[in-house]
Structure 1
């Protein structure tokens, strides 16, 4: 359902702070919607959560790939470039993934390429996202407003 992370280009483009090539094109459901020239005009949604996690979900048109990235300043033990097996649980709908570690020693993150469009649909329709590794749950996020953000991100792509 997910494939191993093999596109290093996305890791370079997805970052915690949007670069100069990214522009805010809207807001929906508590998420900011961005269009990014470095992603071939692709779009992504980004939101911060109460536990300090920052989540990005989007579409890199340059790499022809969908992705989800989760960052947290408590995840400083993540090694840049390492693979991290994980389970993403959307209201008891489980997705297995191999995440790609991204770290700058101040904040760590996991980037996952999304192969199955059903994941985006589930993300839009579910209430919570739990991210777990072999040690247990590392994030539990409230998805309120995510449906509107997924629609807005799709609209952003249509306008490209």
Structure 2
């Protein structure tokens, strides 16, 4: 099943780390996030209706760090969200140069953006990505260390990510009843057809 998900990722051909602002996350009622599976390798799997039914895996760690990795079918990309209640000075809307490192592999550099899921809530870093190697390392390695500038801001275990990714793929397939939620719309001669 992991191979199926990696094939799905390969369909999204874009630069290594997409440096675009995060989608707007307006305050929303809890009913817009639905639970799919409570435990998949220590990760919870859920569906975010504000992201066109995109499925995601989320896990909270002992030191307070929360990691969420998901699919955004609306924008045809993947994202990673990391937060910690201690990060109160992280500014919503501000760009942060972040370095992601899996075990001792070469790190990935990118730009994350500060945001909140709800007004007055905890602050998070949000970054989209589309390079399948990034996600392969996320699944295959044992820990992820996150740096801002030169400072290590979090290190988390990646235990259970294989099972979590498998459940996320199953969730997305069920949600869209398709093998590839990122497939382009079929070509049509109808100029009024919705795209």
> TM over 0.5, yes or no?
yes
The alignment's C-alpha RMSD in Å is 1.9
Report the CA distance between 1:72 and its aligned residue: 0.5
Distance in 2 (CA, whole Å) between partners of 1:99 and 1:18 is 25
Alignment-derived partner of residue 163 in structure 2: 148
Q: Secondary structure at the match of 2:31?
A: coil
Structure with max Cα Rg: 2
Q: Does 1:127 align with 2:142?
A: yes
Contact kept in structure 2, 1:102 and 1:108, CA below 8 Å? yes
Q: What's the CA shift string for 1:122-153, capped at 9, x where partnerless?
A: 11110000000114100010111111101111
Report the CA distance between 1:106 and its aligned residue: 5.3
TM-score, L = length of structure 2: 0.74
Q: Secondary structure at the match of 1:137?
A: strand
The structure where strand makes up a greater share of residues is 1
| Structure 1 consecutive aligned stretches of length 4 or more whose deviation exceeds 3 Å | 103-106
Q: Secondary structure at the match of 1:50?
A: coil
Distance in 2 (CA, whole Å) between partners of 1:144 and 1:89 is 15
TM-score, L = length of structure 1: 0.89
Can you give the 5+ residue segments of structure 2 that lack an aligned partner in the other structure? 1-15, 176-195
Match of 1:24 among 35, 53, 61: 35
Alignment-derived partner of residue 71 in structure 2: 59
Can you give the 5+ residue segments of structure 1 that lack an aligned partner in the other structure? none
